[in-house]
Amino acid sequence: MKLRGEIPDLGPRRILLIQLRRIGDVLLCTPAIRALHEKYPHAQIDFAAEEPGEEVLRGHPLIRNLWLTPKRGLMDTVSFVRKMRREQYDWVIDFLANPRSAQMTFFTRAGVRAGLARRGRAWAYNYLLEEEPEDADAYAVDLRLSMLRELGIASRSRKLEIYCDLQNEAAQERARETLRSASGVVVAIAAGNANNAKRYPADLTASVVDLLRAQGMNVVLTSGPGEGEFGEAILKQLKIPVVHMKDARVVDLTALYRNCALYVGPDSGPKHIAVACGIPTVTIFGPGRPSNWNDAENPNNVMLVAPCDKRPHCVEAECAKLGHIKLITPREVLAASLRALLR
């Protein structure tokens, strides 16, 4: 990562961070939030995110304003940008650098507008961060921290943080109720992913559940909004029923995972929530670059990667059609789970 330009010596009073898209994308920004606070402890730090990604930052002690960005509509976007502009931000750092986030950054009129130097977006920033070839394989946390490093901000930790459940008694009670019938070693299995190419098939997921149960473990199956039908398809193929937490939001999963011994599931937001909760994870990885979404320095994170001769340039639609993720067997998942638990 290289920076074009020199950041002014005067420290910022108001900082805005922008990261649109999904739950995991936002959660992977939390080490950067902490690094900024350590460098500028008296600065106001705000964050702009989309739904449901913003859920992971609710209750975060270092965020003053959590902006929920509009999904579409010119007038809603104009109104949103006007509200942000009134904050008179000194620094805006755009971690995503897509067309929407670039526009938001530009219209804040901040003195420092920093973002990735990508085609068609560089016009929005007056401090451009140029990616180098090795950045393509970087863990998403490290990419964000390297952006900050070029801006003169060091980091002492890469640990993910989540706080949304700590003051939410309803979520804590739902987790307790879910776990009442699951004592001992509890493994949380995420039912699926909105992306079919990243979803481990229902029959194979059911086999994983049965294998874990045969080893004396209790299993809780979770499914998020819109994933309930897939969760039910898994339940129908089980030898013995398990508890199913349906329509689980970020706060529900966080409260649950804090009381589990292991997460097993696809490359998705719940995996990163589990990492933030400090439990071991076994990720069943389909298309994409595995190194972008897994902390290789954390031995508690085990990743099973589907074989694909086109990686990292695999196309999700093609991977879904070819079913590469099916080549990861339930027994491989079981073996990885046992290794993770022994650690």
At residue 110, does pLDDT exceed 80? Answer: yes
What pairs with residue 40 in β-bridges?
none
**Helices 228-236 and 202-214: angle between axes, nearest 10 degrees:** 60
Q: What percent of the chain has pLDDT over 90?
A: 78
Q: Residue 12 carries which DSSP code?
A: P
Residue among 152, 31, 4 at smallest CA distance from 95:
31
Residues 116-141 have pLDDT tens digits of 999 889 999 999 999 999 999 999 99
φ and ψ of 188, to 5 deg? -95, 125
Q: List Cβ neighbours of 228 (8 Å cut-off, separation of 6 or more).
A: 246, 247
Q: What percent of the chain has pLDDT over 70?
A: 99
Residues 331-340 have pLDDT tens digits of 999 999 999 9
Residue 334 backbone zone (phi > 0: left; psi -120 to 50: alpha; other: beta): alpha
Query: What pLDDT is recorded for position 310?
Result: 76
Single-letter residue type at 285: F
Assigned CATH class of 169-342: alpha beta
Neighbour tally for 36: CB within 10 Å:
22
At residue 321, does pLDDT exceed 90? Answer: no
Torsion of CA 110, 112, 113, 114, to 10 degrees: -160
Q: Do domains 2-150 and 169-342 have the same CATH topology?
A: yes
For residue 328 the two structure tokens come to 């990861």
What pairs with residue 34 in β-bridges?
none
φ and ψ of 67, to 5 deg? -85, 130
CATH 1.10.3720.10 fits domain 2-150: no
Neighbour tally for 266: CB within 10 Å:
22
Judge if pTM exceeds 0.75.
yes
CA distance 94 to 201: 36
Domain ranges of the chain: 2-150, 169-342
Residues 249-269 have pLDDT tens digits of 999 999 999 999 999 999 999
Residues 9-19 have pLDDT tens digits of 778 999 999 99
Residue among 279, 259, 283 at smallest CA distance from 343:
279
